[in-house]
């Protein structure tokens, strides 16, 4: 199979690229290297089945050209900065919604009819039901990021109905592991590396979130695509546990062997539109035989060890995630 | 109150403009006259509290300028051609999703914080629950139109959370009545005016749909805005009845006193992405004291009498709705 991976130089994208190559697929990585890293593709670039198409998802022609001869699209390119949506509201619209339209239109032009999409548990807003199943009550959006991904899901489903595409839509919790380059573990590690004596925490530390290890995430994606054959297949992806930010702080400080003084910005939300409790019901994907191999604590541990051995990722990030 | 009405020269928009003026409001009508009609504003233009801003919802600067000094935005401008989505997929994205973003951004720039939005029962896709309540299970989109309106809803909710806006989102069934200029009654009337002996019907005639009379629709909008004060207020708007396309044909042929030979294109759907059964649970708006005054049959009757007395609307439509 020949696959195009948008955002293929990113954290999840590049890991997917490596896994696709490992199973024998041909892979086109499409990335604008805005947050993607050439370093993540070092191994892939040794592989003759790999090719790189440097381009932006807002460039319709480049996208269409890159898709020539592909059988499947993994659309992972996105603005993932859920926290800063209100500072640049058009960014989510462009990079997540319009970009997804462009990907779909390129598929139509290039004759590609199958797509997997990285959506988010944020589309449930402040969910009425927790753990939240895929068919939860019609949600009210609370972030521009969630809204832009919901719009992406809607476009994909409409293209499936309108043009006979098939889609796998994955609503992720936060993903952790090797090549992780944004989110609270990243922020905390950075802060503590600079000053192990203090740690600034957004909110009151009681926010409850779920996390999933990157390789478990890729396993789940492969399982769903292999076994689920509806026209539109929607899956929550997460572990059957959640932790509080305070638990996470404990894991991190233990692993780093530091004892910082904590200061909390206060309030039940870390930022405007933050969801104080994200916990997804993942029984649908589990029924297909998938289960995560790592606990959240283990995933946090691997992430920290990765960051420790790869501090270059902090310098490589153009905009510090904690700014 | 000073209100801006996007799509204020359209069927629903111009009726809303007249009602706002009648209750004493100041009204700015924003319309590009792509499908809107100057004729619909004839009465409004006599009113000193009315002003017209000719512009496109894709023109961010013009939108922002038009909003100066407004207290409230009714965002009705849209591409409403649900049937032809797959022929021009970018149209729904631009005119419904990106346009809604532009309206919200203009509000933020102009300091307007309240918005009413014309969404659609189509956002429920093929609903799992009928009659469909506002908190129905998370839907899968089946049309580009529905997807584009869902995206609009999501953007509005996210702006409410992010910038402290308040919104009223209305999921309409099809609206009928004076100034009605697109949809199946329009198509059937046109066909039968040209040849009363035959009528071509999309699908098999068993599609079940609900309709609402325009003045009842405006009453409901006013009731909701006056009485519902959540940050995001979502309401289904429809009657507590539905009819089959065959019933509708009977109403129309009786009213027009014709007996055409019917030919059906066949299948349970009129077109790709058509929803064979739309029937909304409107108990939420009814609990606020609103109820429709006209039945579907009466609304069809008024629509036909309007079309009979205003055949100019057929010529004024740039693209025939039945093509």
A47 vs chain B: nearest CA distance in angstroms? 37
Burial class of B276 by CB neighbour count within 10 A (0 to 12, 13 to 18, 19+): middle
pLDDT tens-digit series, residues A112-124: 999 999 999 999 9
The mean pLDDT of chain B is: 94
Helix (H) or strand (E) holding B163: helix B144-163
Nearest to A175 by CA among A210, A140, A224, A125: A210
Q: Which residues pair with A172 in a beta bridge?
A: A120, A237
- Dmax over Cα atoms in chain A, in whole Å? 57
Which is it for strands B166-172 and B114-120: parallel, antiparallel or unpaired? parallel
Q: What is the band of A289 on the pLDDT scale with cuts at 50, 70, 90? A: very high
CATH architecture type of domain B177-210+240-279+293-316: Alpha-Beta Complex (3.90)
C-alpha A170/C-alpha A173 separation (Å) is 10
Strands A243-244 and A208-209 come out as antiparallel
pLDDT tens-digit map of A96-117: 999 999 999 999 999 999 999 9
Q: Are B53 and B30 a contacting pair, CB within 8 Å?
A: yes
The answer to whether the peptide bond before residue B131 is cis (omega within 30 degrees of 0) is yes
Answer for the pair B156, B73: CB distance below 8 angstroms, yes or no. no
The pLDDT-based confidence of A314 (bands split at 50, 70, 90) is confident
Q: What percent of chain B has pLDDT over 90?
A: 87
Do residue B157 and residue A101 have CB atoms under 8 angstroms apart?
no
pLDDT value at position A47?
A: 98
B290 — alpha (psi -120 to 50), left (phi > 0) or beta? beta
| B2: Cβ contacts below 8 Å, ≥ 6 apart | B25, B26, B27, B28, B69, B70, B71, B72
Distance of alpha carbon A140 from alpha carbon A125, whole angstroms: 6
pLDDT-derived band at B319, boundaries 50, 70, 90 = very low
Which residues of B make CB contacts under 8 Å with A? Answer: 85-86, 89-90, 93, 97-98, 101, 104-105, 108, 124-125, 128, 134-144, 146-148, 150-151, 153-155, 157-159, 161-163, 232, 234, 272-273
Q: Which of B249, B303, B238 minimizes the C-alpha distance to B277?
A: B238
- CB spacing of A158 vs B136 below 8 angstroms: no
- In this complex, the residue of B138, B142, B155 whose CB is nearest that of residue A161 is B142
Question: Nearest Cβ partner of A151 from B97, B108, B135?
Answer: B97
Per-residue pLDDT reduced to its tens digit, B14-30: 999 999 999 999 999 99
> Is the CATH number 3.90.25.10 carried by domain A176-210+240-279+293-316?
yes
Taking contacts as CB-CB distances below 8 angstroms, the residues of chain B near A284 are none
In the predicted structure, residue A304 carries a pLDDT above the cut 90: yes
Q: Is the dihedral of CA B65, B71, B73, B74 positive or negative?
A: negative
Binning pLDDT at 50, 70 and 90, where does residue A322 land? very low
Residues 6+ away with beta carbon under 8 Å from A88: none
**Distance of alpha carbon B96 from alpha carbon B93, whole angstroms:** 6
Alpha carbon of B16: minimum distance to chain A alpha carbons (Å) = 26
The Cα-based distances of A149 to A100, A280, B29, B45, B136 in angstroms read 9, 17, 32, 42, 20
SS3 per residue for chain A: CEEEEECCCCHHHHHHHHHHHHCCCEEEEEECCCCCCHHHHCCHHHCCCEEEEECCCCCHHHHHHHCCCCCEEEECCCCCCHHHHHHCHHHHHHHHHHHHHHHHHHHHHHCCCEEEEEEEHHHHCCCCCCCECCCCECCCCCCHHHHHHHHHHHHHHHHHHHHCCEEEEEEECEEECCCCCCCHHHHHHHHHHHCCCEEEECCCCCCEECEEEHHHHHHHHHHHHHHCCCCEEEEEECCCCCEEHHHHHHHHHHHHCCCCEEEECCCCCCCCCCCCECCECCHHHHCCCCCCCCCHHHHHHHHHHHHHHCCHHHHHCCCCCCC
pLDDT confidence band for A198 (50 / 70 / 90): very high
Gap from A154 CA to chain B (nearest CA, Å): 5
CA distances from A172 to A138, A178, A210, B47, B122 (A): 18, 17, 9, 54, 26
Quick: pLDDT tens for B271-305. 877 888 899 999 999 999 999 999 999 999 999 99
Provide the residue ranges of all domains of chain A, joining segments of one domain with +. 2-175+212-237, 176-210+240-279+293-316
Instruction: Note whether B158 contacts A151, CB cutoff 8 Å.
Output: no
Residues of A in contact with B101 (CB under 8 A): 89-90, 93
Rounded CA-CA distance A232/A30 in Å is 24
Q: Which CATH architecture has domain B2-175+212-237?
A: 3-Layer(aba) Sandwich (3.40)
> Residues of chain A with pLDDT > 70: what percent?
98
Mutate to test the interface with B, among A60, A94, A101, A108 (most CBs of B within 10 A): A101
Chain B residues within 8 A of A108 when measuring between CB atoms = 89
Cβ–Cβ of B234/A85 closer than 8 Å? no
Residues of A with CB under 8 A from a CB of B: 85-86, 89-90, 93, 97-98, 101, 104-105, 108, 124-125, 128, 134-144, 146-148, 150-151, 153-155, 157-159, 161-163, 232, 234, 272-273
Same fold, B2-175+212-237 and B177-210+240-279+293-316: no
Q: Cβ–Cβ of B101/A89 closer than 8 Å?
A: yes
A contacts of B125 (beta carbons < 8 Å): 157
**A153: pLDDT strictly greater than 50:** yes
Mean pLDDT, rounded, for A231-239: 98
Please tell me the number of Cα atoms within 13 Å of B285 on its side-chain side: 32
Residues of A in contact with B124 (CB under 8 A): 138
Confidence class for position B318, pLDDT limits 50, 70, 90: low
Q: Quick check: helix, strand or coil at residue B78?
A: coil
CB-nearest partner of B147 from A85, A125, A155: A155
Residue A35 CA to residue A40 CA, distance in Å, equals 11
Nearest CA in chain A to B98: A93
What is the mean predicted confidence (pLDDT) over B137-163?
96
Contact A142 B158 (CB under 8 A): yes
- The ipTM value here is 0.94
Q: In angstroms, what separates the C-alpha of B39 from chain A's closest C-alpha? A: 35
| Closest CA in chain A for residue B104 | A89
Find the helix or strand (DSSP H, E) in which B18 lies. helix B11-22
- Maximum average pLDDT range among B33-47, B75-89, B180-194: B33-47
Do A177 and A231 form a contact (C-beta atoms < 8 A)?
A: no
Displacement of CA A121 from its chain's centroid (Å): 10
When pLDDT is cut at 50, 70 and 90, the band that residue A323 belongs to is very low
Q: Could you tell me which residue, B207 or B17, shows the higher pLDDT?
A: B17
Q: Give the chain A residue whose CA is nearest to the CA of B232.
A: A140
């Amino acid at each position: 199979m020949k696959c195009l991976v948008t955002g293929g130089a990113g954290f999840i994208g590049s890991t997917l690229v490596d896994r696709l190559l490992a199973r024998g697929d041909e892979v086109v990585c499409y990335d604008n290297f805005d947050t993607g890293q050439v370093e993540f593709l070092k191994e892939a670039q040794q592989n003759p089945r790999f090719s790189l198409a440097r381009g932006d998802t807002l460039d319709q022609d480049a996208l269409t050209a890159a898709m020539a001869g592909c059988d499947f699209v993994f659309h992972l390119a996105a603005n993932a900065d859920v926290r800063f949506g209100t500072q640049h509201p058009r960014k989510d619209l462009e990079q997540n919604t319009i970009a997804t339209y462009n990907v779909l239109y390129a598929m139509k032009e290039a004759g590609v009819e199958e797509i997997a999409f990285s959506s988010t548990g944020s589309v449930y807003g402040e969910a009425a039901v927790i753990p939240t199943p895929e068919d939860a009550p019609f949600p009210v959006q609370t972030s521009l990021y969630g809204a832009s991904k919901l719009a992406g899901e809607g476009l994909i489903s409409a293209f499936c109905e309108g043009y006979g595409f098939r889609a796998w839509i994955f609503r992720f919790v936060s993903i952790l592991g090797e090549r992780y380059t944004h989110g609270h573990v990243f922020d905390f590690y950075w802060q503590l590396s600079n000053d192990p004596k203090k740690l600034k925490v957004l909110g009151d530390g009681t926010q409850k979130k779920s996390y999933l290890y990157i390789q478990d995430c890729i396993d789940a994606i492969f399982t769903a695509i292999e076994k689920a054959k509806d026209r539109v297949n929607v899956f929550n992806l997460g572990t059957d546990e959640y932790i509080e930010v305070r638990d996470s702080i404990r894991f991190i400080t233990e692993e780093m062997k530091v004892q910082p003084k904590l200061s909390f910005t206060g309030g039940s939300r870390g930022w405007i539109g933050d969801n104080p409790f994200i916990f997804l019901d993942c029984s649908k994907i589990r029924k297909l035989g998938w289960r995560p191999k790592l606990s959240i604590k283990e995933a946090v541990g691997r992430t920290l060890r990765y960051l420790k051995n790869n501090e270059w990722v902090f310098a490589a990030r153009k905009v510090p995630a904690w700014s």
